[in-house]
Every structure is written in C-alpha cells, then in structure tokens.
Structure 1
Amino acid sequence: MDLADKLMNVIVITISLLALFFLHQYRFLNSLISTVRTLFKENLTGKVVLITGASSGIGEHLAYEYARRGARLALVARRNQRLQEVADVCEIIGSPETVYILGDVSNNDDCKRLIDATVNHFGQLDHLVANAGVAPVCLFEDYDDITKASPAIDINFWGSVYSSYFAQQHLKKSKGKIIVISSCAGWVFAPRTAFYNASKAALISFYETLRIEFGTQIGVTIVTPGFIDTEMTEGKFLSKEGRLEVDREMRDVQVSLMPVESVEKCAKAIVESARRGDRYLTVPSWMETTILWKVFCPEIMDGWNRFMILGPGSSYRDSPSKKILDVVNEIMQLLLP
C-alpha cells in the first residue's frame, strides 16, 4: 500500500505539472465554448419555470427576469400576499401565465405537491430554480437550543434537494435545467454564520455531484452570489431563538462596508447564465478571487474575518467592522448637507 501511495504521488504530481502547460489552451477553449453559448442562448418563451423563495429578494427578481423573456411561471413561497403581488407583476411585464403556490420547501410532502401542481397545470417543467434560504446569525457557543439553527439546513439544503428529487423526471423529459442558488459563503467563512456557510457548501458539493450523475440529461448551474441587496443584507436573520428578525446592528457587523450588488443586476446575470447553460456563476464576478485566497492563503482569510467581525472585545458592538462603518457614517454626515 505504501508503494502504491508513493507511485500515485509521483504520477499525479507529474500529470498536474504537465497539465499546466495546456492551461492557456484549455482557457481559450472554454472562452470559445462560452462565446458559442452566448450566441445560441436558450429561448425562454413559453418555457415553464418554477422558482422557490419567490416572494422577495433574488427569487422575486428572477421571476421578473424570466417573465420579461416570456416564460410561464410557478412561484413558491410561504407569504401569500407578497407572492400574489409578485405573480401579478410578472403577468403585467410579459409572462403569459403565472401561478403561485404556497409551500414550505423544508417539508418533503410540500415539495412533491408543488412540483406535481406545476406539471399538472402546465404539462411540463423546464427550469427549476432552487432559491429559498434563511441565514442564522449567532456564535455557535451562544445557542441555548442548537436545534433552532436547523432551518438553515432544512430550507437551504434539503429544500433544494427535495425539489430537485421530485422535479428530476420532468426535467429529463424536457432536457431542462436546475439553477441552484448557493453562495460565496460556501468558501468564505464569516463568524456567526456557521450553519448558513455549511448549508451553502453542501449545496455546491451536492449539485456538482448531481451534474456528473445527470450528464447531458439535466443542466446544472450553480450560482454563488456575494452580498446582494436583499432582505438578508438589510439584516433579516434567523435569531438564536429561531425567529426571523431584522437586526440592523448585526447587519452592520456582518456586512459593514462591503459593496452590495443590486438584486436586479444579480437576477439578470443569473437568468442569462442559465440561458447559456453555464456550470457556475459568481455575482459580483470579483468575488471569484476569494477562491484563490481560500486555496493559497487560508490563514490570512480566516484571520482577517476573525479580526474584523469578532475583534478583541466581548460584544459584537466592539467589532472593527462595525466601528469602521460607524466612523464612515459620521464622516458622511459631516460632509453631506
């Protein structure tokens, strides 16, 4: 066994070094393929698209982008009034028909019901957009009841998995696509978001595996947004008691001065990426560089996040990220009338 390991070390390292000589050719080929896909993007007119978490944020604006391109929509969320409002807008701006379905994606039976309802109504399913998610924000040691963090896995991970499981047979018939909304949090690990980070990392691993299993039968696009202008970046987090609450102070700590991408621009990029059949999309694109930091300088990235978000103090109000934001806000108030 030791001899086999030594041989594998030599073989794998040698092949990897040789592969570097073909990196430029590989990147050129990828660019060529991307150009061809851009020229022959999927026509969404009349296609049936199911979007989870469609009552706000990225999901809401994905619905608008698909609607503008003539897709028929099935919108899923738990907030009836908001969902109805989004559906009405979709039909005004271009969707031939939009239905909305109340459902909880963390419930296996609900996921089966919403997929069945969509296919029974429209007769097909072309795109599944697995978008629903929540973000618990709390230090691991501060939980009184650790099960209060379980919605992060139940909704973010299992909600996507359940929906994909019941949709797969219909997507194979239509040669359709799964667009899963993960996050840069799948590799950028900020304190207080351990369960959110874990759920998003799990999505990346799971759907990379599904892409291999499905082959050409179902396309899989994994989207990894950074900070996007949604309820989440406005401070709507899952508290340690398990309640969705808006905490502006905690938002200032976790987000601070990080640039926040517009949700409209993010949604448009996602739909265009799905039309091209991309494997991955990161929005904003500069967040892709954090992968290099994670691979080559993990200690620096981890140390930076710990210092900025936790800081030396015992209270989150003492964190450097919040203090810097407070100083900048004070300066802006002095400079602006």
Structure 2
Amino acid sequence: MMMMMDSINSVLNWIVPPASLVMLAFSWPALTFINTCEKIYYSNFFLHHIHGKVVVITGASSGIGQQIAYEYAKKKANLVLVARRDQRLRGISENARRLGAPNVLIMAADVVKEEDCRRFINETISVFGRVDHLVNTTSLGHTFYFEEANDASAFPMLMDINFWGNVYPTYVALPYLRQSRGRIVVNAAVENWLPLPGMSLYSAAKAALVNFYETLRFELNGEVGITIATHGWIGTEMTHGKFMLEEGAEMQWKEERELQASDTPVEEFAKLIVSAAIRGSANVKFPSWYDVFLLYKVFAPDVLKWTFRLLLSSQGMKTSSFVGTGRPLSETPSPPRRHTVVPYSSVPRIQLVE
C-alpha cells in the first residue's frame, strides 16, 4: 500500500505543477473579470455602510494605524483609538473629528497584555454598546541577521508584538463582533511567505499571524469577517534610518505602530484597507505585483534563492540593524560584531559589542 502511494505521489509531483500553471493561465482572465465586477458592485452599494458604526484601531498613534483612523473618520465612523501612550492620540483624535468622526475615544493600553485589551474593549462597550470593526495594526520589524543576535531575550518581544498583540484584542472583542456580525482587519506583510534575508523572526511571526487568521476565518464560518491586508515595502519611517527611544517604556526598539508615516504609499494603503474592510473583502494587497513572487516560490523556488544571493553578493557585505536604527554593524571589513540588547534601565539602549 505504501509503495502504491509513493508511486502515485511521484507521478503527481510531475503532473500537478505544470497542469496547475496551464489551468491558472486559462482561468486568470475570467477570475480578473469577476473580481473587477465584485469591486465595482460593492463600491457602489456598500461603501457607506460604516456610517455611525464603532471601529477599534490598535496601534493608532501613528503610521498605518493613524492613516486608517483618518480614513474611517471620513466615512463618519465612531472611533476608539488605542496605543501605549495617549499624548499623540489626543492630536490624532482632534484631526479625526475634523475629518468627520462623530465620536472619538482614546485609550492608553498595551495590546500584548490581555488585561489591557479587556479594559479598552469593555470601555468601548460601556460607551458605545457595540464593536463593528477591530483593526489590528501593531507590528515590530527588524533588519538583523539571526546569527548576529546574541541575546535571545529579544526574540519573544518580536512574537509578542507581531502575534499576541493581534490575538489578544481579537480574543476579547470576538463575542461582541459576533453580535454585530462585524469584521477583523489584520495588518500583515509580504514577508509572511516571501523569505527576505535579515527578517527571519519578523517573517516567522507574520506567517504565524496569517495562518492564525486564515484558520479563524473557517472557524467563524462567516459570522465575523476577516480582512487580511498584506503590504510590501511602503516607506514608513522604518525605512528612513530613524531611531527613537521611548522615555519610560519597556521596549528597546521603536515599534512600527508608533512611527509617524505620511508618505503617499502609506495613505494609499490605508485607503485600500478601509475600502476593502467596508466591502467585506477577504484580502487586500499593496502593491499587488508582489504576488508574482508567490508563483516563483511555489513552482521555481531556486529563482528566489539565486536572486537573493545575487543581491547579497552585489552589496559586498551584510549591514544589519534593529528597526530604524540605520546603524550598520561595521563600516569597513572587520571581524563580525553582534548585537546585544542591554537590559532595561532608566536609559534603554542598544549596544554593539566586539
């Protein structure tokens, strides 16, 4: 029996990939036409149904979360803006009111703590009586090679922000989202399936996040919608080499959720996310051309491997940094250095050690 299964799998390994490519080539025009018709239909009939609904946005103090808040405000939604500090939220809430949000509630909370999530969801229910959309935008990236981190205590931090920082708010809000037949919006990244060097832990966390929500989508069976927003390199301050430490905070790095971002790509991505969430779309991607790499990953993975090797060899050496530091490990060839995350003190810092 086992020999028969092995024989069948061997044959299918040769037949299925090329057959799938042929089927995809023939079906692509029809699928594109159907998707376009759906977008036009939902854009005309469902785009304004968020008026007066209640939207909770985590990581709303800046970056993509801030821009999403403004887009929901333009649709006349009631907003609950959540971040660890409320200083920036005050200014954002005023902007949101000017853009059209009838009511804006700001809450200082840390989404990696379940008790904080319960507090801001309970406060939302107390004030508004419902939750219609939960938008999770918390994210923390890195640009260091795995072998260069000699303090493993930093690893759980990446998983906490990128995974549990989305799961805890979802867990607490889910009963209320069921009541309103609401929607969860997830801030994913193309790294969840595209293996980019220097982002191993971030990629793993995002892959776990996407798989969690894809599974949850089946468990909820349409009672609560899920929109997974996948972005590529969209140019926040994360890419500008800026590094800021937070006074009195327990984080060693500046999270993407706390970074200011007013670049056109970020604003455009925010518009796509909100429009997709209101339409009830399962996925939104920006830019969409990244999908071509998925075909290479599935059918020709060596192409990606050769591409990355070529890019790395053209750079001559690895230059790694934590999020936004812009501090290379070395300016000239020298023995490899390793990052050390110094334990939290009154002046948190990141050191480079020989």
Measured at CA, do residues 210 and 313 of structure 1 come closer, stay the same or move farther in structure 2, by a change above 3 Å? same
Q: 2:252 aligns with which of 243, 247, 254?
A: 243
Residue of structure 2 equivalent to 1:276: 279
- 8 Å Cα contact 2:137-2:186 kept in structure 1: yes
* Deviation of 1:20 (Å): 2.7
List alignment gaps of at least 5 residues for structure 2.
Answer: 256-262, 321-354
Alignment of 1:33 with 2:38, yes or no, is: yes
Residue of structure 1 equivalent to 2:120: 114
Measured at CA, do residues 7 and 135 of structure 1 come closer, stay the same or move farther in structure 2, by a change above 3 Å? same
Q: Give TM-score scaled by structure 1 length.
A: 0.80
SS of the aligned residue for 1:232 comes to helix
* Deviation of 1:27 (Å): 5.0
- 8 Å Cα contact 1:191-1:306 kept in structure 2: no
* Deviation of 1:6 (Å): 5.3
In structure 1, what residue type is equivalent to 2:71?
Answer: E
Moved more, 210-219 or 22-31: 22-31
- 8 Å Cα contact 1:191-1:310 kept in structure 2: no
Question: Per-residue CA shift, 1:142-173, capped at 9, x if unaligned?
Answer: 11211213222101111111111111111111
List alignment gaps of at least 5 residues for structure 1.
Answer: 247-259, 318-337
Q: How far apart in 2 are the matches of 1:297 and 1:200?
A: 23
Q: 2:139 aligns with which of 133, 136, 140?
A: 133
- 8 Å Cα contact 2:61-2:92 kept in structure 1: yes
Alignment of 1:287 with 2:279, yes or no, is: no
Moved more, 214-223 or 136-145: 136-145
Percent identity, aligned pairs only, is 39
In structure 1, what residue type is equivalent to 2:253?
Answer: L
- 8 Å Cα contact 1:236-1:244 kept in structure 2: no
Measured at CA, do residues 243 and 277 of structure 1 come closer, stay the same or move farther in structure 2, by a change above 3 Å? same
Q: How far apart in 1 are the matches of 2:309 and 2:230?
A: 22
* Deviation of 1:11 (Å): 8.7
Q: Which has the higher contact order (CA 8 A, sep 6+)?
A: 2
Runs of 4+ residues deviating >3 angstroms: 3-14, 16-19, 24-35, 235-239, 309-315
Moved more, 296-305 or 140-149: 296-305
- 8 Å Cα contact 2:312-2:318 kept in structure 1: no
In structure 2, what residue type is equivalent to 1:39?
Answer: N
Alignment of 1:297 with 2:303, yes or no, is: no
Measured at CA, do residues 194 and 216 of structure 1 come closer, stay the same or move farther in structure 2, by a change above 3 Å? same
- 8 Å Cα contact 2:79-2:101 kept in structure 1: yes
SS of the aligned residue for 2:238 comes to coil
CA RMSD, Structure 1 to Structure 2 (Å): 3.0
Measured at CA, do residues 102 and 271 of structure 1 come closer, stay the same or move farther in structure 2, by a change above 3 Å? same
Residue of structure 1 equivalent to 2:329: none
Q: 1:264 aligns with which of 267, 270, 279?
A: 267
Residue of structure 1 equivalent to 2:344: none
Residue of structure 2 equivalent to 1:72: 78
Moved more, 19-28 or 54-63: 19-28
- 8 Å Cα contact 2:82-2:108 kept in structure 1: yes
Q: How far apart in 1 are the matches of 2:9 and 2:40?
A: 37
